[in-house]
Amino acid sequence: MASAEFWYEFASTYSYPAALRVASLAEERGVSVAWRPFLLGPIFAAQGWRDSPFNIYPAKGRYMWRDMQRTCDAMGVSLKRPEPFPQSSLLAARIALALEGDRRSNFSRRVYIAEFGQGLPIADRPTLAALLTRCGVDPVATLERAESDTNKALLKAECARAAEIGVVGAPCLVTEDGEVFWGNDRLEQGLDWAARRRARVSP
Amino acid sequence: MASAEFWYEFASTYSYPAALRVASLAEERGVSVAWRPFLLGPIFAAQGWRDSPFNIYPAKGRYMWRDMQRTCDAMGVSLKRPEPFPQSSLLAARIALALEGDRRSNFSRRVYIAEFGQGLPIADRPTLAALLTRCGVDPVATLERAESDTNKALLKAECARAAEIGVVGAPCLVTEDGEVFWGNDRLEQGLDWAARRRARVSP
């Protein structure tokens, strides 16, 4: 089966519609998707940014929120800006990484819906623990695993890996042959690429 | 008839495929398009950038060239990076603004094909004069008009107008009701919007 990686960051607005779309788009194309949570902070810091570029460049921020509104309207999903924006995504990313398979993608979608669909804060333990409970996952054990030194180190390694393979923003779809497709609006193209590549290399 | 504005900058890579695509996409939807050449320089300067963001942020530059290659491959058009990048687009923009209607769009497409299809410099008078000749336009009279004080002032006013209406990059498709769609990958969405809006307001 063809496969691709879906790199996402919980503070990233465009990762919200992408997280809601990627599973069905991948299924239509026969592509299996590995969900890879990471943090844009280190990548932005390397570019000299200490805040979201949508805050540093207000005209781009205004454009992005309007573009997001049109995108969400077209999908029939709600959009509500959380305050502050961006939300701290560190704990959510650690938790997502501590989960596996469907649990990871289910939890991640719930975080995005809470954050950008309902405008709720997603930085604190009680909020994230409640989302874990709704996923049918034990919040205490999961938070413990999420905050273990091993898991913290794993998230750091994932961030380094993202930079290394050319992930320049979020979301990114990365194919087995190393092509990077950046943006919610590149999901279809990236998944098509993954499916076509598989067709070429299959016996 | 529905209408929209196509704002483009000759130094902008993504304006190249957009300039080749916009006329037929607009025709399919019954939308008439006004070509609006402008300069990103003043808009970038307001964000503290003195160079292309694709040069300031090398990882984004690498991504952009690979993404452009995929885009051009899918369209079946060639891509060749001009040196230096970005090219100075001032004179080309002044000339485009001094032309009207089909002459402006024809000249503009020829500039993009020379610059990004063939990797030729587009900053100097002889190159641009040759392109004008191939458009069937008198180069001497056109260059004189392009470099008149009136036309220079008009281009400045166009740049100010672009910033005012929320043009944050190039290309942008701007609809009659003021929606801005940024990027080659938003052309279809912007033209669909323009066509739908017209359907709503028509008697």
Which of these, B3, B2, B11, B1, lies nearest to B170 by C-alpha position? B11
Domains of chain B by start residue, with CATH: 2-201 (3.40.30.10)
What average pLDDT is seen over chain B?
A: 94
Sheet of A180-182, strand order: A31-37, A2-8, A172-175, A180-182
Please name the residues in contact with A149: beta carbons below 8 A apart, sequence gap of 6 or more: none
pLDDT for B202 equals 62
Alpha helices in chain A (DSSP H): 15-28, 41-46, 53-56, 58-75, 90-98, 101-112, 125-134, 139-146, 149-164, 187-201
Of the pLDDT bands very low, low, confident and very high (cuts 50, 70, 90), residue B96 is very high
pLDDT for A202 equals 62
**CA-CA distance, A3 to A31, in Å (whole number)?**
5
Top residue of A7, A51, A64, A66 to mutate, by most chain B CBs within 10 Å, is: A66
**CA-CA distance, B182 to B169, in Å (whole number)?**
7
Each residue of B29-58: pLDDT tens digit?
A: 999 999 999 999 888 887 777 888 788 788
Asked if A68 contacts A77 with a C-beta cutoff of 8 angstroms, the reply is no
Give ipTM to 2 decimals. Answer: 0.90
Q: What is the mean pLDDT of each run of 10 residues along chain A (203 residues)?
A: 96 98 98 97 81 83 96 97 95 98 97 97 95 97 98 97 95 97 97 88 60
Instruction: Give the burial class of B178: count Cβ atoms within 10 A of its Cβ; 0-12 exposed, 13-18 middle, 19 or more buried.
Output: exposed
Beta carbon pairs, A and B, within 8 Å: 47
Which of these, A45, A71, A60, lies nearest to B40 by C-alpha position? A60
Which of these, B158, B147, B116, lies nearest to B18 by C-alpha position? B116
* Inter-chain CB proximity B63 and A179 less than 8 Å: no
**CA-CA distance, A160 to A8, in Å (whole number)?**
14
Is it the case that residue B140 has pLDDT exceeding 70? yes
Amino acid identity at A197: R
**CA-CA distance, B115 to B112, in Å (whole number)?**
5
| B155: helix, strand or coil | helix
Is it the case that residue B86 has pLDDT exceeding 70? yes
Say what the pTM is. 0.93
Percent of chain B with pLDDT over 70: 99
Q: Which residues in chain A have their CB less than 8 angstroms from residue B67's CB?
A: 181-182, 186
* Inter-chain CB proximity A47 and B59 less than 8 Å: yes
Average pLDDT, integer, range B146-169: 96
